[in-house]
Amino acid sequence: MTTTPVTYADVRAIIDHPIGRVWPLVADFGGLAAWAAGVTGCVMDGEGPGAVRTVALGDRVARERLEAIDPVQHRLRYHILPPHSMPADEVCSDISLTMIENNRTELRWSSEASGFFVPPEQIGARIEGFYSKSIEGLRRLLDRG
């Protein structure tokens, strides 16, 4: 079992919308249900760093604490609070946005953890699939307008 954090999921995608339109949706920590794959509800407790969202994914529930948010650098970091279904400890995720040419945005969503109970790549593919489907949901929401 590793105690050093390991990145087990890392997805990058180009979104054909300016960062000024993408960031408000990503930065709305309680607004995940509007675009994330399979999320059926999201309830916030608090505001800003330290706030906790309770995310419903069908019959599962996850609690996530906002660790940091930077509206200038367009980055946020959150920690998945135990107990959770991930076979690892200290699970954290980062979402960052970068403005690129032609008024488009690169979104990077990555996760790291330590204390894996299974090889990290076993859960990485599943989480990357969730991130990719969620980014598609974000695109659809932005395209509607």
Domain residue spans in the chain?
Answer: 6-144
What's the mean pLDDT when you consider all of the chain? 95
Confidence check: pLDDT of 29 > 80: yes
| pTM of structure | 0.94
Percent of the chain with pLDDT over 70: 99
- Concatenating the DSSP letter of every residue in the chain gives ---S-EEEEEEEEEESS-HHHHHHHHH-TT-GGGTSTT--EEEEESSSTT-EEEEEETTEEEEEEEEEEETTTTEEEEEEESS-SSSSEEEEEEEEEEEETTTEEEEEEEEEEES-SS-HHHHHHHHHHHHHHHHHHHHHHHHH-
CATH superfamily of 6-144: START domain (3.30.530.20)
Confidence check: pLDDT of 1 > 70: no
pLDDT confidence of 4, banded at 50, 70, 90? Answer: confident
pLDDT confidence of 3, banded at 50, 70, 90? Answer: confident
